[in-house]
Amino acid sequence: MMRQAVVVGAGGISGAWLPMLGEEGVEVAALVDLDEARARTQAARYRLDPLITTDLRRAIRRIRPDFVVDLTVPAAHSAVTCTALRLGCHVIGEKPMAASMAAARRMVRTAEETGRIYMVSQSRRYHAPHAGLARALAGGAVGRLTALNCAFYIGAHFGGFRDQMAHPLILDMAIHHFDLARLFSGADPRAVYAASFNPAGSWYAGDAAATCVFEMSNGVIFTYTGSWCAEGMHTSWHGDWRVIGERGTVVYARDQPPAGERVAGDGGFHRPLEPLAIEPLEVPSGQRGALREFLAALDGGPVPQGECHDNIQSLAMVFGAIASARRGRRVTIRV
Ligand SMILES: NC(=O)c1ccc[n+]([C@@H]2O[C@H](COP(=O)([O-])OP(=O)(O)OC[C@H]3O[C@@H](n4cnc5c(N)ncnc54)[C@H](O)[C@@H]3O)[C@@H](O)[C@H]2O)c1
């Protein structure tokens, strides 16, 4: 039997979700957007015939869906998701979880109080090189990890909400990289020192560039440097990574397969090294991977990655970095 979902938010990212939901056996029974015309346009584009409304409560009461998909802008996530949870629905929503830690904590509390699952779709976890790299690192491919570095440089002309955000890079994009740092290191954040900037010539109102140094719970140092207004010689959207362990290094950059070298003997100015191949781990990719884990959890399967109690750790890196940049000093990260 097909499951039914109420989808909230018919903007850009709904183009990834609407066709995919049907392919995964989920009927889009209602499409809710403050801008009804947008919802109508998207429904027509994907040949769907959902209830179209601006009223989420009405849609949920009428449809009684199996779950709600929250694809609204970050500032609306907390209200939309808490409303859905309180009306008895499980929720899968887009990243970032919320526009503040207080709002995110409210979402976690509401999931606890209602006994519903709230999962954030952190799409970049579901990518064969990432899953393969995480598996190899957890298996000790380069020994005990000591440092992770991620560089992200893209000139991205979006228009829309990102142009007005105070910290578009850190809040809307670096959340992916911070979350990958948690995946690769297998650790949670403890502290950060960050500086953020809006480079000359930037087309963003807020800070489109940042440099951050995170201390992770297992002692790993994660350094991040990025800009969303850097024209030319773009890095990968996943970031260009260098991962260093006591026995070797992996480089994963410009969307080439991750590859490394590890120590193969003693002696010499440089120790003898051997190549290290990182096998990809095939997983359903992007939002589809997140949705499959969510659907499995609804059937009593394991707690999905991105479940709110876990994902709030990635969001805490975002708000820790923003707080540090504002105060000009290292801050402790608390969830
Ligand atoms: N995983 C990814 O790679 C990825 C990529 C792009 C966007 N996203 C995320 O998806 C979310 C949406 O991004 P987008 O690019 O589609 O934005 P968008 O501005 O194109 O669309 C957002 C839509 O939500 C609607 N909306 C806002 N508040 C609402 C509310 N309270 N109730 C109902 N509708 C509401 C708006 O009218 C708009 O149609 C953001 O959180 C963004 O970070 C994720």
C-alpha 8 – ligand 1 centre gap (Å)? 9
pTM for this entry: 0.96
Residue 1 pLDDT greater than 80, yes or no: no
User: What's the pLDDT tens digit per position in 311-323?
Assistant: 999 999 999 999 9
Q: Please state, rounded to an integer, the average pLDDT across all residues of the chain.
A: 97
Count structural domains, the chain: 2
Decide: 15 in ligand 1 pocket, CB within 6 A. no
C-alpha 242 – ligand 1 centre gap (Å)? 31
Give the distance, in angstroms, between the CA of residue 120 and the centroid of all CA atoms in the same chain: 8
Residue 145 has a pLDDT of 98
DSSP bridge partners of 90? 67
- The secondary structure element, H or E, covering residue 67 is strand 67-70
Domain boundary among 68, 91, 116: 116
Q: Where on the phi/psi map is residue 181: left (φ > 0), alpha (ψ -120 to 50), or beta?
A: alpha
Residue 298 lies in a domain: no
Backbone angles phi, psi at 240, to 5 degrees: -105, 125
User: What's the pLDDT tens digit per position in 134-168?
Assistant: 999 999 999 999 999 999 999 999 998 889 889 99
Q: For residue 58, what are the domain limits? A: 3-116
Kindly state the average pLDDT of the residues 107-131: 97
Residue 249 lies in a domain: yes
Residue 286 has a pLDDT of 96
C-alpha 103 – ligand 1 centre gap (Å)? 17
Could you identify the atom of ligand 1 that is nearest to the CA of residue 286? Answer: 1
Write the CATH number for 267: 3.30.360.10
Bridging pattern class, strands 240-245 and 145-153: antiparallel
107 lies in the same domain as 129: no
User: What's the pLDDT tens digit per position in 18-71?
Assistant: 999 999 999 999 999 999 999 999 999 999 999 999 999 999 999 999 999 999
Half-sphere exposure of 141 (CA within 13 A, CB side): 24
Residue 297 pLDDT greater than 90, yes or no: yes
87 lies in the same domain as 189: no
Whether the Cβ atoms of residue 18 and residue 32 lie closer than 8 Å to each other: no
